[in-house]
Chain A
Amino acid sequence: MDLQLLFTRRRLALLLAATLGGATLTARAELAIIVNPQNPATRMFPSQAAQFFLGGSVQFTPVEQPENSPLRAEFCKKVLEKSPAQVEAIWSKIVFTAKGKPPKEYKSSAEVKKAVADNVNAIGYIEKSAVDDTVKVVAIVP
C-alpha cells in the first residue's frame, strides 16, 4: 500500500498508526489465504474460500484468527463480504440447529500458520508478509 494513498485517504489511520506503533498499517495489509502444502488446491476465488468460513462447505477445515483481530475484520469485509453480526447470525443458525461447529480460533497469525501446516485439510488466512514455505497460498486479497 503506497503511503500517499494512505496519507490522502486515511490521515486518521496514519495518526493512529503512529500512535499504536503500526497496528493500523497491519490491519490494511494484504491477506493471503493459505492451505497445507500437501493440499492439491492451487488457487481459489475468495468467494470459494468464504464458503468454508460461513459453514457452506466442509471440504476444508477453516482456521480462524482471534475474534478482535484487525485481520479478521478485513477478512470479514473483503472475503466474506458480510458484517461481523451477519457472520455471527449465520453461525448461530448452524450451531443451534445441529448443522456443525464454528471454526476453531487461534491466537495469532503464527498459530494459524502452524495449524494449517499441521493439518492437510486446513484453510486459513494470514498477512501476506507472514507467509513462508510451511504453507501454500491459494489466493491473495489486496
Chain B
Amino acid sequence: MKKTLIAMALAALAGLAGATDLTDDGTLKLTGFYNLTGARVLSGKAQGSGTPWDYMQWKCPCTVQNWEYAAVYERSEGWQFNQESSVGFQLKKEFSPTLSATAQVLVRAHNPGHGLTPTLDWAYLTWQPSADSAWTFQAGQFRIPLYYYSDYLYIGYAYPWVRPAPDVYGWPIYAYQGANASYRTQLGQSDWAATFHMWAGGYTQHNDTYDTQIYYATPTHESWKSMVGGYVSANNGIFDVRAMLMHYKDSTWQDSPAGKVFFVEDQSTRIAGLSANVDYKNWLVKSELDRYEQVDAGKGLNNVYKYALVAVGYQYEAWTPMYTFSRYTTINEPIEARNTQYLSLRWDFRKNTALKVQYDVSKDKSHYSYPFFGDSRLLSVSLQGLF
C-alpha cells in the first residue's frame, strides 16, 4: 500500500509535466492515469436488521464497489483507501505513421492473490491502411467494450463519478485476446460521426476474483470463448448514442479430485447494451440499458441480468454535480437485485486533475435466504488525474 501511494504521488507530480516523450523523435510515449480513492460505509443493514453480519470473507455492513477485483468496503474498517486506488501506465511506440504498439499496465492497491504485481490490461498492435484511413485494425489483448464505460472503468478522469455505477458493471471477465476492426465516418454533410467496431477473441481466467470471492468461496475458473461482438456509435457533439451486441460461449468450472466440475460448459451467452447521452450547453444526461442472457430451456438455464442507469448533471465552470440512479436485477428466483442512488460532485481544480466526492444510497432487493451485501450508505472521495 505504501508503495502504491508513493507511485501515485509520483504520478500526481508527473501530472504537471503531461505526456512524456521517451525518445527525441517523439515515437515512444509514456502516459498514464491514477485514481486515489477512499470510501467509508456510513451505515447498512440486511433483511431489515442493522445487526452486523458476515457475507463470505467480509464483515458487513459493507458494499461492493468493484466486482472485477472484489473491492468491498466494510463499515468496521472506517475510511479505506486500499480497495480501488490504482495507477496506470501506458507505453506507446509508433513504428511508422500507420503501425504502433501499445501496452497498458495497472498497479492496483487491491488485487487478490497478486499483491502489487501490475496487471497487463491492454497490449496490442494497431495498423491502418494509411495515416488518415477510416479503417483501423488491432490485434492483442484488450478490455471488452461491452457497456458504455466498460473499457475505461479505471480511467476515472474520463467520467463524472468516482466510479461508474457498480450495479451495471459487474461480471467475471473484462478482457479478451483477439482482434478488432473499426470503421469511422462522418455521416454525409451532417455533423454526425459514426463508429462501427467489431471484435473477436476469447479469455480464460483461472481462480477469477468475481466467481471465487463473491459467489463460490472455492477457486472457480471461467472462460469466455468464441467471443464475437460489435457496436455502432454515433455522435454529433450533443447526442451520443451506442448499441452493442456480443455473443460467446461460457464455461465456468471448479477443480475436484475427479477432474473438472462444470457449472456451465460452452454455454451460448449473449450480452447487449444500449446507451444514449446528451451534452448540451451545461447539461449532461447519461443513460443506458443493458442485458445479459444465458438461457437454455433444455438445461433449465434462465440466467438473465437486466441493468439500467440514468444520470443528470450540470456543469458550472469547474464544478459538475450529478444525480444518478442505477439498478440491476436477475429474473429467476431467488432474484438478485439492487437499486442505488448517487449524488456526486466533480471539481476540475487543476489541469488534468479532478477531485470527486460522492454519496451513495444502495438498497439490496435480492430474495436470497441469507443476508447478501445488504443496504448501505457510502461516502467516497477520489483524486483522479492524467499524466
Listed in ascending order, the chain A residues whose CB lies under 8 Å from chain B are 45, 47-48, 50-51, 54, 56-61, 67, 80-86, 88-90, 92-93, 95-100, 121
Contact = CB atoms under 8 A, between A and B. Distances in A.
Contact-size category for B: 35 or more
Contacts of A60: 132
B126 interface: yes
Nearest to B318: A85
Contacts of A85: 318, 348, 351, 354
A26 to B, nearest CB: 22
A67 B279 CA distance: 24
Given A57-B193, A85-B318, A121-B132, A92 B184 contact: no
Contacts of B318: 83, 85
B315 A92 contact: no
A128 to B, nearest CB: 22
15 contacts: A48-B190, A50-B191, A51-B236, A57-B185, A59-B185, A61-B131, A83-B348, A85-B348, A86-B315, A92-B33, A93-B152, A93-B155, A96-B88, A98-B124, A100-B136
Contact of A57 (B138, B155, B186): B186
B235 interface: yes
Contacts of B281: 81
Contacts of A121: 131-132
Interface string B346-375: 001001101000000000000000000000
Contacts of B133: 58
A59 B134 CA distance: 7
Interchain residue pairs A-B with the least CB separation, the first 3:
A56-B193, A85-B348, A57-B193
B30 to A, nearest CB: 12
B158 A51 contact: no
Contacts of A96: 31, 33, 88, 90, 104, 122, 152, 155, 158
A60 B193 CA distance: 12
A101 B222 CA distance: 34
A56 B348 CA distance: 23
A47 B143 contact: no
B120 to A, nearest CB: 14
B159 interface: yes
